[in-house]
């Protein structure tokens, strides 16, 4: 079984870790993977393998809980729906996203270790919450927040996956490390369309679950990838003279 007090405590820790990451990233540190890879963050790893291994715990831990725990919250339909969407996200992130990557780049060991630690926590917190503890009440089907949350979550996931597809399509076969101006979809409005989609997805999760665990997931994700959208935005503006001047960094028409 998974203790609820421990689950809530870890959710709070996860939220605080996200806020600490925000402080580091906002003060100018650029997470050393992809275009910002550099020396000084440990040995370099193949990014496809690193993505697969680092994200795996977020998928494997809920599946282990499903098979081996005696938890019973999944008898409720809302728990099944939210866990189903969560699992779709991580099946994509663990198996499909790394398989489709066109990156020839590497990831630094430190980033890999941070990511794997975050993903172990995510799997334990969100899996434990949805499978063992979450009680959305008997009249959940009358609460607009549940439907609104699910709608935002699915919309965010679609934006995220489509935007990552646009980024992949920028490189021709054989090109691995050159950058071009992304066009189409929400990239017409923001430089970080994939990040906007992912943040919206977890915002929807927080609204649907209306829980500390959901808020921790949303805030921590926004703190980790929100600053990266601003870093990419600056990178594009410095690199491309013809970068669309009206395009924002993260939130369409706003910032």
Residue 3 corresponds to which tokens in the numbers above? 């203790």
Among 195, 203, 205, 230, binds ligand NDP (CB under 6 A): 195
Size of the site for ligand NDP (CB under 6 A): 22
Tell me if 232 sits within 8 A of 31, measured CB to CB.
no
Name which of 4 and 240 has its Cβ closer to ligand NDP: 240
Closest Cα to residue 37, out of 97, 115, 98, 105?
A: 105
* d(C-alpha 167, C-alpha 38), whole Å: 22
Contact range with ligand NDP by CB under 6 A, out of 1-9, 19-27, 128-136, 220-228: 220-228
Among 76, 95, 147, 179, binds ligand NDP (CB under 6 A): 179
Among 7, 79, 153, 194, binds ligand NDP (CB under 6 A): 194
Residues numbered 1 to 60 that lie near ligand NDP (CB under 6 A) are 34-35
Contact mark string toward ligand NDP, 144..173, x via CB under 6 A: ----------------x---x--x--xx--
Among 7, 54, 213, 224, binds ligand NDP (CB under 6 A): 224
Residue 67 corresponds to which tokens in the numbers above? 């098979």
Length of the chain: 255
Among 125, 208, 225, 250, binds ligand NDP (CB under 6 A): 225
Contact mark string toward ligand NDP, 60..99, x via CB under 6 A: ----------------------------------------
182 in contact with ligand NDP (CB under 6 A)? yes
Q: Which residues contribute to the site for ligand NDP (CB under 6 A)? A: 34-35, 101-103, 105, 160, 164, 167, 170-171, 177, 179-180, 182, 194-195, 198, 221, 224-225, 228
């Amino acid at each position: 079984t998974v203790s609820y007090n421990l689950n809530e405590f870890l959710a709070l820790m996860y939220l605080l870790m996200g806020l600490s990451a925000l402080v580091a990233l906002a003060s100018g540190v650029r997470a050393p993977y992809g275009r910002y890879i550099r020396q000084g963050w440990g040995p370099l790893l193949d990014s496809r393998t690193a993505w697969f291994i680092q994200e795996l715990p977020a998928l494997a831990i809920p599946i282990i809980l499903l098979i081996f725990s005696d938890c019973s919250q999944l008898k409720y339909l809302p728990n099944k729906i939210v866990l189903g969407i969560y699992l779709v996200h991580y099946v994509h992130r663990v198996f499909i996203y790394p398989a489709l990557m066109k990156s020839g780049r590497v990831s630094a060991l430190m980033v890999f270790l941070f990511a794997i630690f975050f993903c172990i926590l995510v799997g334990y917190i969100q899996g434990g919450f949805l499978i063992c503890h979450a009680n959305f009440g008997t009249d959940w089907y009358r609460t607009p927040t549940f439907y609104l949350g699910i709608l935002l979550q699915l919309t965010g996931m679609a934006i995220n996956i489509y935007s990552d597809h646009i980024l992949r399509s920028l490189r021709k076969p054989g090109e691995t490390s050159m950058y071009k101006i992304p066009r189409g979809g929400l990239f017409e409005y923001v430089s970080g369309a994939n990040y906007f989609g992912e943040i919206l997805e977890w915002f929807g999760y927080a609204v649907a679950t209306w829980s500390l665990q959901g808020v921790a997931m949303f805030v921590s994700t926004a703190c980790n990838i929100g600053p990266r959208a601003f870093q990419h935005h600056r990178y594009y503006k410095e690199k491309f003279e013809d970068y669309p001047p009206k395009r924002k960094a993260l939130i369409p028409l706003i910032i």
